[in-house]
Structure 1
Amino acid sequence: MNATLVLRCAGRPVAHYTAGPVLARDHSPRPYLHPVTTLAGVPVTELMPEDHPHHLGAGVAVPDVAGHNFWGGRTFVRDRGPTALDNHGVQRHDGFTRLDRDGFVEELSWTAGGRVLLRERRTVVTAALSDSAWALDFTFSLTEASGQDLSFGSPATNGRPGAAYGGFFWRAPKEAADPVVFSADADGEEAAHGSRSEWVALSGRGWTLVFAGATEETRRDPWFLRAAEYPGVGSSLAPDRRLAVAAGASVVRRVVTVVADGRLGRAEAAALVSKAVAA
């Protein structure tokens, strides 16, 4: 299965969603959004780039779920560093419970080691904000499904400082120049990465992405942000210690992303975030 769903906003196609991609196992196969574009058609995601072939547009990826890799690529092992392991999991599409032109609700199973570790309900909706901006509202609920306590980790919890990625993740296009980075209260990659700012933004050639945590629980997660090495933004479910999930318990997060044509200033970005989160 490799069918692609087209999402629309204000009557225009703005995102393609592949629910059951056919991928190498070491990419941790999972559904993804790509391409995502501005209303004017400028691409703002990248799929399987040469620098990180396991980066799949926009979606959910966690490098350590009870020792299983749902991120792709090598696993960071304490005292060994990045290590190629046969520990990759798969996010399986179980079906859509709602499917509209502007969004969907999807059920998924996170499987590894011959068993289902997590059940996910994923809700994705588009919303128009202006003639040149729209919002992607992305909520995921991960419920422990094996009947046993488990935990989420990251390279940071496994011994690599500054690498607390895991959760919602958006890989943006790599261009000749690094994207401009700013947040609600600071400028630059160093200030935004690891912060709990209300929102963070990347601005490239003809586009701006503004990412906002839309619930109190989501806003507790620090931002993971890269610009110089590659352009990408995500949340950090396990920034400095493993996130414990009791048997049958759920982890729920909601990230709203403003997708705008052109380069936004801080005031414009803030205004659009407020409108998007309230939509």
Structure 2
Amino acid sequence: MKPPSKPTKHPTTTAATTSPTALVLRCAGRAVGRYHYRPALAPDLSPRPYLHPVTTLRGTPVTEERPDDHLHHLGVSVAVPDVAGINFWGGRTFVRDRGPTPLDNHGEQRHQDWKLRDPDGFVEDLSWSSGGHELLRERRTVAATELTDTAWALDFTYSLTNRGTEDLSIGSPATNGRPGAGYGGFFWRAPRAATPPTVHTADAEGESSVHGRTAPWLALTGPDWTLVFAGATEETRKDPWFVRTEEYPGVGSSLAWDTRLPFPAGATVVRRVVTVVADGALERAEAAALVRKALS
């Protein structure tokens, strides 16, 4: 799947691969994900497009949608809890000196148009708005690539532009007073199992050792699958990893870990995360080799 140099006509698709609200993502001829681009969600879930289920090549699910512990966790999505005070994450908003608070401040990401739509990926335009007012415009590029007969890569790029005339900023619960909760950006909710997943980077192991730190790649391993997340641009690699294993299984790349990210009028923020989706448990050398192949 190659992004077009100019808008193209939508290719003909069948009911098996697309619908008025979702499309199927394929890799090596197999369905590996379903992208909900017009989901019907309650306002307090901060409606947004998301991928679920995402599976390994053998069909093992590696995402979870609206789990009981966090109803606003939606598979793989771009979720930001504070864009100039608007919640694009879902759930309660962390308010300094008050804690998590239900507020009527939820925004939504609305699908606008396809620039490209192929079985193995797409290019999409979205509008981030609240109360009919657009704050940001996004260009999203997603592609699936086969790596081996047991591993494939999800290449996910989002480019956010402040098209308004006012300067904005991006924050997180951490920037609003909750230490260690610097989440917001690309976020992957993995499925729960009887035993929490393990997590490691090339030189550290365990949630407390990798959470809030930068690393070229980070591997989350469940009972019969491994996800290896890698920042694919210089700016993305500067973002710390947000990691949960015990409370729930999830990994994110954080835009505003402990300080707000300025977002001037006319500016664009671009992030690219490539995720290796593999069957079985990967050793460090295997994870590193697949990341190199995915990024090559």
TM-score by length of 1: 0.98
The answer to whether residue 110 in structure 2 is matched with residue 92 in structure 1 is yes
Counterpart in the other structure of 1:31: 49
8 Å contact kept, 1:115–1:146: no
Q: Select the residue among 258, 265, 272 that pairs with 1:240.
A: 258
| Cα deviation 1:145-182 (Å, max 9, x = unaligned) | 22210000000000000000000000000111000111
What's the offset of the Cα at 1:114? Answer: 2.7
8 Å contact kept, 1:2–1:22: no
Distance 1:154 1:195 in 2: 16
Counterpart in the other structure of 2:231: 213
Which structure 2 residues correspond to residues 1-279 of structure 1 after superposition, within 5 A? Answer: 3-278=21-296
Distance 2:202 2:126 in 1: 34
Distance 1:197 1:29 in 2: 30
| Cα deviation 1:71-120 (Å, max 9, x = unaligned) | 00000000000000000000000011100010000000000133100000
Q: 5+ unaligned residues in a row in structure 1: which ranges?
A: none
Per the alignment, do residues 80 and 2 of structure 1 end up closer, same or farther by CA in structure 2, a change over 3 Å counting?
farther
Paired residue secondary structure (1:129): strand
In the comparison of the two structures, how many residue pairs are matched?
278
Q: 5+ unaligned residues in a row in structure 2: which ranges?
A: 1-18
Distance 1:15 1:110 in 2: 23
Runs of 4+ in 1 over 6 A off after TM superposition: none
Counterpart in the other structure of 2:12: none
Per the alignment, do residues 61 and 244 of structure 1 end up closer, same or farther by CA in structure 2, a change over 3 Å counting?
same
TM-score by length of 2: 0.93
Distance 1:57 1:86 in 2: 24
Distance 1:7 1:256 in 2: 15
Distance 2:156 2:203 in 1: 24
| Cα deviation 1:22-76 (Å, max 9, x = unaligned) | 0000000000000000000000000000000000000100000000000000000
CA RMSD of aligned residues (A): 0.8
Distance 2:103 2:75 in 1: 23
